[in-house]
């Protein structure tokens, strides 16, 4: 079940994970980008938690809006507006509920991905965060069809996102800074797909 309490655990845990993995994510970005992705995500989730504490949301729509606004303001780069759009679309999908389950989570992620693809124009296989999110969504839908619990669905989603991120290694980047490298982007895991897979893993640990 997603509740405001669980969402706060989700963002607090993301703050800790991105702080811990800051160097790793920036190293991935150094190989095919400008080396700032870990720093961007750590700074972004510091702001997400600080803004939530300063102005605690009273429903899930406001919670996702708050996360979105903090990320757009502080992450910068390509990934800031993209993650910001994801959470903004989720806020609209979920509405003013104070708790919800798998159906709304799937609707939110699905609309979030549509938003990322609308502004970023990446397709599956372009070596971006989309390559983690699309298999993540497919896993959620499969789990829903199989009548799995929310916790099981989130675990399967996390595995699919991790596999999707790892599957970016042999791809040629078609969008974002990494695309400037053309074939030289082959052999490196996409940083944004990696931070997205981390997000799916944290969701499985905290939104249950």
Site string for ligand ADP, 116-145 (x = CB under 6 A): x---xxx-----xxx---------------
Q: What is the 3 state secondary structure string of 112-164?
A: HHHHHHHHHCCCCCCCCCHHHHHHHHHHHHHHHHCCCCHHHHHHHHHHHHHHH
Contact call for residue 70 and ligand ADP (CB under 6 A): no
Contact call for residue 33 and Mg ion (CB under 5 A): yes
Contact call for residue 34 and Mg ion (CB under 5 A): yes
d(CA 178, CA 172): 9
Count of helix runs (H) and strand runs (E) in the chain: 9, 2
d(CA 39, CA 21): 9
Residue 159 CB, shortest distance to ligand ADP, in Å, is: 19
122 binds, among Mg ion, ligand ADP, none (CB under 5 to 8 A by kind): ligand ADP
Asked whether the beta carbons of 177 and 78 are under 8 A apart, the reply is: yes
Contact positions vs Mg ion (CB under 5 A): 29, 33-34, 36-37
- Which residues contact ligand ADP (rule: CB under 6 A)? 29, 33-34, 36-37, 40, 77-79, 82, 116, 120-122, 128-130, 175-177, 190-193
């Amino acid at each position: 079940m997603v509740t405001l309490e669980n969402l706060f655990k989700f963002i607090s845990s993301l703050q800790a994970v991105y702080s811990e993995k800051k160097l790793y994510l920036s190293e991935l970005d150094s190989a095919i980008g400008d080396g700032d992705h870990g720093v961007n995500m750590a700074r972004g989730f510091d702001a997400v938690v600080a803004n939530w504490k300063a102005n605690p949301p009273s429903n899930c729509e406001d919670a996702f809006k708050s996360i979105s606004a903090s990320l757009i303001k502080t992450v910068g780069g390509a990934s800031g507006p993209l993650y910001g759009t994801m959470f903004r679309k989720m806020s609209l999908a979920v509405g003013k509920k104070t708790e919800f389950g798998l159906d709304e989570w799937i609707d939110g992620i699905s609309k979030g991905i549509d938003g990322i693809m609308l502004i970023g124009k990446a397709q599956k296989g372009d070596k971006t965060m989309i390559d983690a999110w699309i298999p993540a969504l497919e896993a959620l839908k499969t789990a829903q069809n199989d009548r799995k619990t929310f916790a099981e669905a989130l675990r399967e989603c996390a595995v699919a996102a991790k596999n999707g991120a790892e599957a970016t290694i042999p791809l040629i980047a078609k969008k974002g800074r990494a695309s400037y490298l053309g074939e030289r982007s082959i052999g490196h895991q996409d940083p944004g797909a990696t931070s997205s897979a981390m997000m799916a893993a944290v969701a499985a640990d905290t939104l249950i």
